[in-house]
Structure 1
Amino acid sequence: MTEVLYYLDCYLKEFEATVVKVSDGNVALDRSAFYPESGGQPYDTGKLVREEDGAVFEVVYVGKFGDDISHEVVAADETAPVLKAGDKIKGIIDWERRYRHMRMHTATHVVANVIEREAGAQITGNQLGLDKSRVDFSLEAFDRDKFTEYEKMANDVIAAKHPVNFYLVSREEAEEKLSRLTTLAKGFSEDIKEIRLVEIEGITIEACGGTHLKNTGEIKGIKISKLQNKGKSNRRMYFTLLD
């Protein structure tokens, strides 16, 4: 089982770990700060540097398989010996990519909470990106003018600089404390017994495994760039970050 380092510290850019398993260019570590592709958030990239000889291995994909976070790597020098179980490494995150996704993900929580509160909508799908992100909502009435209001409300929350906190709790404790674990229409998998909660103080608290900011002010602002009608009660919204 890989120890997940980003759950309580999303700002960890470098870490030390030990290789526990290698298969067809995929490396599992005993601990990792790399985010694996999941929940509409893209994977992190970066590199692993072997302590013994300084050999560099580019991380080109990260996924979670069972309890392991698996890192697909490509050697920067093809003549370097491959990684093997027991190797000590330093992991280095591509911070610009990670931080952009953190801004997008926290922004998604802010705007989704606004739309849930104002229109009773739930998220039916989402995909974060570096340049733009999309969120799909279960929403019967599709008043496009309302989204201008939602954008302003979301930017007010961002400007208010609400702190963001993280907690690891049992599923039982989370369900006792919260009226709902998530704004996702599909709910939260019953297989997940330890819940990571993300709280935007005074705004929302919900289960989420993604990477987030420490404060909504770091988002800077959002702009809704496109709205689409995707069928009965399914509305799609694209947004970008303001820099």
Structure 2
Amino acid sequence: MEELYLKDCYLKEFEATVESVKDDKFVVLDRTAFYPKSGGQPHDTGVIVRDDEEFPVVFVGKFDGTVSHEVSKVGLKEGDRVKGIIDWDRRQLFMKYHTACHILSAIIHDETGAKISGNQLAENKTRVDFNLENFDREQIKAYESKVNRIIDMNIPVDISLLTREEAFSIPSVVKLKDAFPPELEEIRVISIEDVDRQACGGTHVSNTGEIPHIEIFKAENKGKNNRRVYFRFRDE
């Protein structure tokens, strides 16, 4: 299966062939731009269209390396030629949140040395978890202005597919070396010049200037050496 979102996050429509349908609702295509739930980023929604008939996509997941689309309408069959249409408003929102998450995570790491232990994107907020013993709420609030300063700098966001050797020459990537299966020949790297460079399979904007200003509205302890901050986009 060709995963089109890996190379072009802005692809809204695509043509494909149905490879299989299970239980009348789990559809596998030969190529897809629908992002499957992964890495803290929610799945895309949208429709699969055959002729003039629409099949709403309500969930997208990746199982044993294959992207599966759950549709809420019966009727698709193996061999059907179809068009996929992404719910662009939802996708674009998560692109903005995901890139903002990279910026905030990079700032926290640069300021404290803390490692990011997880993140979760949602439609109205995003959270970032990180390993840090001391928890200075005022300092964390100050990160907000630093993120917004980077947003205003209109820095290009680059997506590259690198060989393992190239990727592992990047300090922020080599730390995750054990997370990549040995059969993986190419590693996708997201680069924000002078800010962040890390391996990531998610969707991102092409320039930080596309991101609204953020506000950090909650910070909390989640146990020993586990801190969490929540942010959302400002209404401006």
TM-score in terms of structure 2 length: 0.94
Q: 1:182 to 1:108 in 2, by over 3 A?
A: farther
Hey, what's the Cα distance between the residues in 2 that align with 1:224 and 1:188?
30
Give the Å deviation of 1:171.
Answer: 2.0
TM-superposed deviation, 1:170: 2.1
Counterpart position of 1:71? 69
Number of residue pairs aligned between Structure 1 and Structure 2: 233
Report the CA distance between 1:187 and its aligned residue: 6.5
Per-residue Cα deviation, 1:189-216 (whole angstroms, up to 9, x for no partner): 3354421111112211110000000111
1:221 maps to which of 213, 217, 222: 213
User: Cα RMSD between the aligned structures?
Assistant: 1.6
How far off its partner does 1:172 sit? Answer: 2.5
Query: Distance in 1 between the 2:215 and 2:195 partners?
Result: 20
Counterpart Cα distance in 1 of 2:175 and 2:92? 23
1:188 maps to 2:187: no
Give the SS at the match of 1:181: helix
* 1:119 counterpart residue number: 112
Matching residue's letter, 1:48: I
Q: Cα deviation per residue 1:42-84 (whole Å; 9 max; x = unaligned)? A: 0000000013xx2210000000112211000122xx6xxx111
Q: AA paired with 1:11?
A: Y
Is the CA contact 1:157–1:216 (under 8 Å) kept in the aligned structure 2? Answer: yes
The sequence identity of aligned pairs, in percent, is 53
Which whole-Å deviations, capped at 9, do the CAs of 1:89-118 have from their partners, x for residues lacking one? Answer: 000000111111111100000000000001
Residue 59 of structure 1: SS of its match in structure 2?
strand
2:130 pairs with 1:132: no
Instruction: State the AA in 2 paired with 1:3.
Output: E
Match of 1:7 in 2: 6
1:164/1:139 CA distance change after superposition, 3 Å = same
- Spell out, residue by residue over 1:138-169, the C-alpha distance to the aligned partner (whole angstroms, 9 max, x if none): 01110111112211111111111110011112
- Cα shift at 1:183: 8.1
Name stretches of at least 5 consecutive residues in structure 1 with no aligned partner: none
Question: Is 1:167 aligned with 2:160?
Answer: yes
Q: Which amino acid letter does the alignment assign opposite residue 66 of structure 1?
A: D
- The worse-fitting range, judged by mean Cα deviation, of 186-195 and 38-47 is 186-195
For residues 150 and 193 of structure 1, the distance between their equivalents in structure 2, rounded to whole angstroms, comes to: 36
Where does residue 26 of structure 2 map in the other structure? Answer: 26
